[in-house]
């Protein structure tokens, strides 16, 4: 495969080249990894277009797919090009994976200004995440104005998506009671905008109450340097009736503009690059333990530890010494 040529076609915004490039970065074959790394490097040198990367998280059924379809259609109607990617924490999750969802996002998937890419099926979140991050960079190089990265909110996936996004949006459903739906504090602290969805019909007043509760909770959080006055904020939307989406987009743009002017936008991307560097190193070290010769040595030393012939600490030091040398 001619990597330089593939890169040029991605830069020209060719969808088939983009799809092919994403397949390349998703491959775990060593030769593909090397080509993918070259491709990403080439593109990072040649491309200076910046998309707004929007991470979107929410529990199953909250309306992520419906929101992405409505919100995406609104953006393409404004002449913007929209890419949709997903980070799936598990390959076996029930409910709609974004692939099954292509049917649900029927209008958007037929829109020539939209590009929808299902999540790579892999059980290891870290592996999927690293590749999705590269897929984001590819979409950006292909000239998409907005890249939406969806994740269902379980485990570590929100953190991973927040680390590849300029904006992190939390989608919530109207709560029955007055409890804060058990959204973890750590997740709240990552959110730039909370959208309480389904603010329509019978659910409207519950949505408004829930929104007020979350607005209150957000005000209690420690102020972050990357936020202007009034952010992070909570608002109601109806993905189904397409209400409040224009306002949500306006607020997202205002936040991005402010962060760009204040240097937080570039600053955050720089921090994220460091985060992913650390992740790659950690992942690489762990991968060494799964390969020979270290794999066999781990087993042999493990057996000796079990028999009491060597202490866990000294055995671990032996492995660490080998890692240092390899
Ligand atoms: N009333 C109302 N229902 C909605 C709204 N948005 C989504 N729904 C409904 O909620 C259900 C779940 O919507 P989805 O968009 O599939 O939710 P999701 O978050 O993608 O769900 P998973 O993919 O399973 O995680 C569907 O029956 C939607 O029609 C809304 O704004 N108002
Ligand atoms: Mg869905």
Torsion angles phi and psi, residue 99, rounded to 5: -65, -50
How far is the C-alpha of 211 from the C-alpha of 237, rounded, in Å? 10
Q: Among 184, 145, 144, which Cα is nearest to 162's? A: 184
97 conformational bin, left if phi > 0, alpha if psi -120 to 50, beta if neither: beta
Domain positions in the chain are 1-46, 49-262, 291-325
Residue nearest to atom 2 of ligand 1 (CA): 198
- DSSP state, 171? E
Give me the pLDDT at residue 184, please: 77
Q: Among 102, 132, 136, 134, which Cα is nearest to 120's? A: 132
Q: Please tell me the number of the ligand nearest to residue 238's CA.
A: 1
Angle between helices 125-141 and 30-46 (to 10 degrees): 40
Q: Among 252, 236, 232, which Cα is nearest to 172's? A: 236
Write out the two tokens for 226.
């990357």
Residue ranges for the chain with pLDDT beneath 50: 91-96
Name residue, tokens 């743009």. Answer: 253
Distance 204 CA to ligand 1 centre (A): 15
Q: Is the CB of residue 27 less than 8 Å from the CB of residue 120?
A: no
CATH number, span 1-46: 1.20.5.170
Strand partners, 70: none
Write out the DSSP string of 303-324.
HHHHTTSS-HHHHHHHHHHHHH
Ligand 1 nearest atom to the CA of residue 101, by list position: 23
Distance 45 CA to ligand 1 centre (A): 40
Give me the pLDDT at residue 84, please: 95
Q: Please tell me the number of the ligand nearest to residue 59's CA.
A: 1
Query: Among 65, 107, 241, which residue has the most ligand 1 atoms within 8 Å of its CB, making it the best to mutate?
Result: 65
118 SS3 class: coil
Torsion angles phi and psi, residue 215, rounded to 5: -60, -40
Query: Among 61, 154, 203, which residue has the most ligand 1 atoms within 8 Å of its CB, making it the best to mutate?
Result: 61
Give me the pLDDT at residue 96, please: 44
Give me the pLDDT at residue 154, please: 67
Residue nearest to atom 32 of ligand 1 (CA): 198
Ligand 1 environment, Cβ below 6 A? 58, 60-66, 95-96, 104, 152, 197-198, 200-201, 203, 238-240
How far is the C-alpha of 17 from the C-alpha of 324, rounded, in Å? 40
Residue nearest to atom 12 of ligand 1 (CA): 61
Ligand 1 nearest atom to the CA of residue 68, by list position: 15
The CATH number fitting domain 49-262, selected from 3.50.50.60, 1.20.1250.20, 3.40.50.300, 1.10.3720.10: 3.40.50.300
- DSSP state, 51? P
Give me the pLDDT at residue 91, please: 45
Distance 62 CA to ligand 2 centre (A): 8
- DSSP state, 145? S
211's CB contacts (< 8 A; 6+ apart) are: 194, 196, 199, 234, 235, 236
Residue nearest to atom 27 of ligand 1 (CA): 61
Secondary element (H or E) of residue 77:
helix 64-77
Give me the pLDDT at residue 155, please: 66
Secondary element (H or E) of residue 262:
helix 245-262
Q: Where are the beta strands (DSSP E) in the chain?
A: 52-58, 82-87, 114-116, 146-152, 167-172, 193-196, 233-236
Cis peptide preceding 144, ω within 30 of 0: no
């Amino acid at each position: 495969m001619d990597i330089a040529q593939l890169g040029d076609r991605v830069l020209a915004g060719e969808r088939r080249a983009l799809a092919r490039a994403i397949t390349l970065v998703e491959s775990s074959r060593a030769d593909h990894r090397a080509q993918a790394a070259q491709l990403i490097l080439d593109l990072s040198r040649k491309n200076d277009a910046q998309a707004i990367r929007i991470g979107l998280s929410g529990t199953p059924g909250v309306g992520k797919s419906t929101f992405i379809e409505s919100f995406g259609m609104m953006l393409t109607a404004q002449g913007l090009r929209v890419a949709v990617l997903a980070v799936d924490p598990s390959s076996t999750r029930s409910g709609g994976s974004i692939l099954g969802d292509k049917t649900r996002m029927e209008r958007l998937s037929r829109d020539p200004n939209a590009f929808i890419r299902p999540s790579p099926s892999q059980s290891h979140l870290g592996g999927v995440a690293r590749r999705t991050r590269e897929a984001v960079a590819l979409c950006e190089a292909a000239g998409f104005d907005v890249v939406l990265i969806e994740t269902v909110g379980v485990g570590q996936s929100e953190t991973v998506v927040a680390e590849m996004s300029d904006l992190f949006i939390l989608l919530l459903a109207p709560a029955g009671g007055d409890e804060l739906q058990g959204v973890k504090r750590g997740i709240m602290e990552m959110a730039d905008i909370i959208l309480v969805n389904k603010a329509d019909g019978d659910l409207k007043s519950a949505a408004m109450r829930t929104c007020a509760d979350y607005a209150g909770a957000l005000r209690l959080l420690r102020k972050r340097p990357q936020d202007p006055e009034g952010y992070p904020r909570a608002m109601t939307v109806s993905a189904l009736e397409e209400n409040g989406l224009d306002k949500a987009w306006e607020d997202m743009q205002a936040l991005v503009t402010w962060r760009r002017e204040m240097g937080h936008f570039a600053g955050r991307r720089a921090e994220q690059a460091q985060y992913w560097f650390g992740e790659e190193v950690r992942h690489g070290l762990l991968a060494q333990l799964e390969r020979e010769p270290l794999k066999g040595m781990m087993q042999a030393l493990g057996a000796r530890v079990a028999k009491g012939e060597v202490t866990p600490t000294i055995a671990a030091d032996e492995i660490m010494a080998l890692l240092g040398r390899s």
